[in-house]
Amino acid sequence: MPAELRLSRSDSQRRAPKTSVAELSLATARWCARRGWPVHPLAAGRKTPVGNCSDCRAHPHAPADCPCIPAGRWCHGFHSATLDQDRIQQWWGSNPKFGIGVSCGGAGLVVLDIDAHPVQPPTRDRILPGIPIADHIDLTGLANGFHTLAVLAALRGQPSPADDASTLRVRTPSGGLHVWYRVGDGRRWQSSVGSSPGRALAWQVDVRAHGSYIIAPGTATRQGVYTPLGTVREPAALPLWLAQELERTGHLPAPNIPAPRPVPPRARQAVLAAGGGGREQHVLASVLAPVEACGQVPEGAGFSDTLNRAAYTLGGLVAAGRVAREEAEQALLRAATEARPGQERRIRQIIRSGLTAGLNRPLHDNGRRQ
């Protein structure tokens, strides 16, 4: 285990020999992999995965169809996560400033990501989804995920996971906390965002599980270091009461129904019908492909940016007379809402913005814009 993960930050400065960022990143990635946690690179100083290669950007496709991953490259974020020590040496040895992401699903982890963002609380029905909070209850002082998780735990007669010293806990640079738990039942626990009107455990408490990743302890970003607390460096088993709450709030897919569900072919068929000929069908299919791919993971796929790029490209095709606007726009809307149910308002805003920008830059047969 890297010294910085064994000791507190102040102790490591006194007792451990000085370790370079390059040595620490590689050592941390190796340490994670030895515990069975598949790792993938994060962009230097950032919380997001390293970008895809130029070929993958130019020809969008689903991660399962990517030739880079079998070849040992890191395209598509956590989909490329590995336990292979030789590959880890190659990735971080050549790029020592990369951060470390851990694929939660591949590692069998459920991580509570507790936020402390200074924002106005939502309506009462979204503070603890599925648990009514009567109007006469005073919520003065409830300001972040630490509070909502503590309320949920108190309702169940349990201590808050934020105070669970039996498991790995990691302080984030923004003042939040990652609480790591392991699951060994083979069930595909699903991720969520605490502010979502859909699946959610509590306001300002995200759940990182299958289809998502978590930042490894010891990783440094521009905002600071993800610092482990206390002396425990292994995730404890997911508490039964917390598993019951996650199941209650929809963090397990329905029996015998694969999740997340891929986008039905009707959206693709509609946009292809709008485009006519074979070459245009290929172009239009490539517009929908990355949006559809986002539907294969509940988060961490850069959905907003992906949708914006697709809408911008679509606008250029419409401006050049290569696509019928109404049919193609509706097909993109259907694909996006299938990928992210319950977010139609935001999706429409993104499409409108990207489409408007693209209409000013026609995209012609040579792939060039005016």
Digit-coded pLDDT (tens) for 315-344: 888 888 877 788 778 878 888 888 777 777
- Are 138 and 244 a contacting pair, CB within 8 Å? no
CATH topology of domain 106-248: Prim-pol fold (3.30.2250)
The per-residue pLDDT for 196 is: 63
Rounded to whole angstroms, how far apart are CA atoms 220 and 165?
23
Which pair of tokens denotes residue 48?
Answer: 């997001």
258: DSSP letter: -
Domain coordinates in residue numbering, the chain: 3-101, 106-248, 265-359
115: DSSP letter: -
The per-residue pLDDT for 66 is: 84
Phi, psi of 259, rounded to the nearest 5 degrees: -140, 150
Alpha-carbon radius of gyration of the chain:
22
The per-residue pLDDT for 9 is: 43
The per-residue pLDDT for 368 is: 55
- For the chain, 370 residues long, the average pLDDT of each consecutive 10-residue run is 52 48 82 94 90 82 83 86 93 91 94 91 87 84 92 94 97 95 86 76 93 92 93 95 93 58 45 46 71 67 77 84 78 82 80 84 63
- Are 94 and 86 a contacting pair, CB within 8 Å? no
The per-residue pLDDT for 160 is: 96
pTM confidence score: 0.66
